[in-house]
Structure 1
Amino acid sequence: GHRHTSLTVNTTAPQQPVRSFHSRQGRISPLNRDVLQRHQGGLLVSIADVQRHGLQHLVGDRDVVLEIGCGFGEATVAMANADDATVVLAIDVHLRGLARLLRQVDALGLTNVRAVQGDARELLHSAIAPASLHGIRVYFPDPWPKGRHIKRRLLDADFVELAASRLRSGGFIHCATDWEPYAEQMLQVLSGSPAFTNDSSTDDGFTPRPSWRPLTRYESIGLAKGHVVHDLLFTRQ
């Protein structure tokens, strides 16, 4: 009946029903809903949009760096602002974080950021062509500290293999975490992949924070509490 038609996605326009912004993640403020609706199908795309149109259609011929989990967008915006030749494709499951990211993008007038809501594995697997990414950034992913949850961590051998297949030769993967056991796991799975070489020049295999990775509020709070942050930087062979 009629009730259905308003929810049908019209394939000629990459827009999804606005309904999707009433997410299960709780209420979204009118300000955030406004920015999400304004950018839908433009700077805010779905995994289906990327799958249907391809990266090049969305970003042109520029290098693309995938940022997995953008938090409140601080680092994303600072890095995009410092390098306008590169497009940052920021994916996060949380609409609130993406809305805050887009508000900062608006304020600075940036044209080289795209936001995607959803699961990074799904995006990489179903929508990103092989050897098409210049880089992948994973800053402070959920550490899932409980033993029974460790298998939920993003950085495992399967993910590293998937990431390697989507990065072009000479591309990079850059991870950062303040959870020591996760840092060790990251080092183990990345070092175990023949597709990557470690850029580290230190004995422990980690890399000091590069000057171009901005310190976020979250990280500063952790450092003040005495957390140790580990960066890992690997190059795709």
Structure 2
Amino acid sequence: MTDPAPPSPGTFRDKPVSFVRRSGRMTEAQERAWVELAPRYVIDVARGSGATSILPGSAIDPAAVWGRQAPLVVEIGSGQGHAIVHAASSAPETDFLAIEVFKAGLARTMLDAERAGARNLRLVEANAPEVLQHLLPEASADEIWVFFPDPWHKNKHTKRRLVTAEFAAIAARAVKDGGMLRLATDWEDYALQMRAVLGESPDFEPTFEGEWAPRFDGRVLTAFERKGERVGREIRDLSYRRRGRS
């Protein structure tokens, strides 16, 4: 897939993003995390047209960033980092990248990663599709996780959903042949959309039989998921393998 031309100077993104970046006050501990821990955990990136954009042509070298050659797992929308900190501390032989736009969530992730000794975790404050398209080299990720993305459940907002045919193509660029794309949502309508999108993708094949994949045992059970189950929201998992490049 060919990267689109960068926006002209003075313009902003020409497509909606899957988030609304809310400003929120951070705690003193979170502010301190940015001062003390960001140099260790946060990848400094060149920006394009927005505060969460990635400048085309600014790809990183994962071996240089993590200081080794290792499998790479990328989580999109890592929130406060519960899932990825648990995963990183449980699998020190694997490298992890958390993508999030909310600064307070990234700060919390760094604090928990430091307590857990998860030195194999890095963070980037950016719009996820641009990270997959511009920051990560092609075929550099072993797995991409999309757990509980914003469902944008109102009809007038569904165009802002992350998982679209365009996203599938961008994810396919970043993931290795044979690598995995894992998704989960508690919103049935979005789960059906995800399944339809990936079912039509020429780059991915399902790894499950029937309607839904088994629950991914690498996803820690968070308070968010427990709350959803308590109020009767069914969690639906999907998993796809990257087909070989022709």
Q: For this structure pair, what is the TM-score category when the shorter chain's length is used for normalisation?
A: 0.7 to 0.9
Question: Counterpart of 2:227?
Answer: 221
CA distance 1:143–1:47, shift in 2 (3 Å): farther
CA deviation profile, 1:102-140 (whole Å, cap 9, x unmatched):
111111111111111111011112111111111100000
TM-score, length-scaled by structure 1: 0.85
Does residue 211 in structure 1 map to residue 217 in structure 2? yes
1:90-129 mapped onto 2 (5 Å cutoff):
90-129=98-137
**What amino acid sits opposite 2:41 in the alignment?**
L
Q: Which moved more, 1:144-153 or 1:207-216?
A: 207-216
Counterpart CA distance in 2 for 1:219 and 1:24 is 23
Who wins on radius of gyration, i.e. which is larger? 1
Q: Give runs of aligned pairs for residues 57-206 of structure 1, distance below 5 A.
A: 57-59=64-66, 60-201=68-209, 203-204=210-211, 206=212
Q: 2 CA distance for matches of 1:232 and 1:138?
A: 10
* Gaps in structure 2 of 5+ consecutive residues: 1-20, 48-53
The alpha-carbon deviation at position 54 of structure 1 amounts to: 2.4
Answer with 24-33 or 165-174: which moved more: 24-33
Local SS of the residue matching 1:62: coil
Question: Are residue 48 (structure 1) and residue 49 (structure 2) matched?
Answer: no
* Residues 156 and 189 in structure 1, CA contact (< 8 A), matched pair in contact too: yes
Task: Give the drift of 1:73.
Answer: 1.1
Look up the equivalent residue of 2:42 and give its one-letter code: L
1:192 and 1:109 map into 2 onto residues whose CA distance is 41
- Does 2:236 correspond to 1:230? yes
3-state DSSP class of the match of 1:170?
A: strand
Tell me the residue number matched to 2:28. Answer: 30
The answer for unaligned runs of 5 or more in structure 1 is 1-22
More helix by share: 1
Aligned-partner SS, 2:46: helix
Count of aligned pairs between the two proteins: 213
